[in-house]
Amino acid sequence: MTDAIDGLKMRERNGAGDAAARPSAYAPQSAQPPQQPELHPSLEQPDALRALFPVLAQTINGAPLAYLDNAATTQVPLPVLDAIRAFEEHDRANIHRGVHTLSQRATDIFEAARSALKRFIHAGAQHELVFTSGTTESLNLVAHGLSDSADAPALLRPGDEIVVSIFEHHANLVPWQQAARRSGARLRLLLPDAQGRLRPNDLAGLLTPRTRVFALTACANATGYRPPYEALLSMAADAGALTVLDAAQTVAHGGFDLSALPCDFVAFSGHKMYGPMGIGVLAGRRDALQRLAPLRFGGDMVQWVTADTAVFAELPARLEGGTPNVGGAVGMAAAARFIEALGRDRLEAHEAGLRTRAVEGLSRIAGVRVIAADSAPTAIASFTVDGVHPHDLGTLLDEQGIAVRTGHHCAQPLLDHLGCGPTTRASFAMYNTADEVDRLLAGVARAVKILR
């Protein structure tokens, strides 16, 4: 008994979450039932693929659901739901500090999910992965962590500069506004050229010896524009800036290789990659993550505590204060495996084909303007209709069972800059079909006749 208690104390002091740090007596096998044969999704069998997503098998206002709001949230397939349910039914317990069997199993499962997601984004040996509640918390963690002081001086100070593109979701703009105010740094915006594209030469004109941070999206959620983020990140890194990439709209739509990018921090969410809500990732270079002041203080992020001071744990525990969303991590890892089974290159081509079909069809409807119509195909088509408010258009489409997103898409500065105001956005996923795109086109044409 004494040995067991001593082992637990050692693990608490070290903030241990690694199976290797536990006594072998605390590494029991999971009691989960035998796994069912894996379901292998295939784009070549769309009906079978769609059958794995229960939510799609419903009607809305008497019409089959055409779910085209995937840039906001994707749907969840059965293998992901099964993985979450198996954890909740057989292994649910709090992790890292328990000596009982379920706690040890839950710890193993949680850390296995971390490893699976590191493989999914091709994180290298120099990288670490931190679980958060989503992209928004991940980006706030970086912005706050660089402008606040905890156990080391803040990186951002008066006179420093932060460069952010205008294509950003509010979650990659507002935190930097606040960081600038908190630290006295200056926020500078990277604007597009006359063709609506970000150019390396324009970024070069903004970078100075005082540039500390460059934050950029890998795909604009409001328009579908994909900036040349590889070249822009490289230029900022060469200038000595820390680089931050919002990959929420890209990580589930094709290959993503963190080890090949000059990227210090990358953020993405589970619910945009066929996983559960309330779980996300902040990954990046270990030395860069180590510079962040923690956002949450409390359990599991400390090495030891006295009445008046604390020493923080090593990464990743240092940035994961509180009870984590273990079931969410399980589901996110299962979603990554589901995407990989489908084939990421084939998925990207499928979605790009749907987007091209939508853009070509929308462009033939009088009064419709597609935003970033000629950009590299992604999974997003955003458009306006002369004389028609997007909310009215979205309501009429919903009456036909077609779900789209309307409004500013949390990117109001961008849409104001483009002079288009709120838009209607259709966004595509693995389970969408050409027939659904054609329903969208027919629905828009019908709505235009009604609303004008």
H or E segment to which residue 283 belongs: strand 280-285
The two structure tokens encoding residue 298: 């409390």
- Answer yes or no: 263 catalytic: no
Q: In angstroms, what is the C-alpha Rg of the chain?
A: 23
Query: Do 381 and 423 touch, CB atoms closer than 8 A?
Result: no
The secondary structure of 198-267, three-state, reads: CCHHHHHHHCCCCEEEEEEECCCCCCCCCCCHHHHHHHHHHCCCEEEEECCCCCCCCCCCHHHCCCCEEE
Residue 101, judged by CB atoms within 10 A of its CB (0-12, 13-18, 19+), counts as middle
Contact status, residue 370 vs residue 382, Cβ threshold 8 Å? yes
3 state SS of 99:
coil
* Distances 131 to 67, 117, 143 between C-alpha atoms, Å: 28, 10, 16
Q: Phi and psi at residue 442, in whole multiples of 5°?
A: -65, -40
Set 219, 263, 410, 420: catalytic member: 410
Residues known to be catalytic? 410
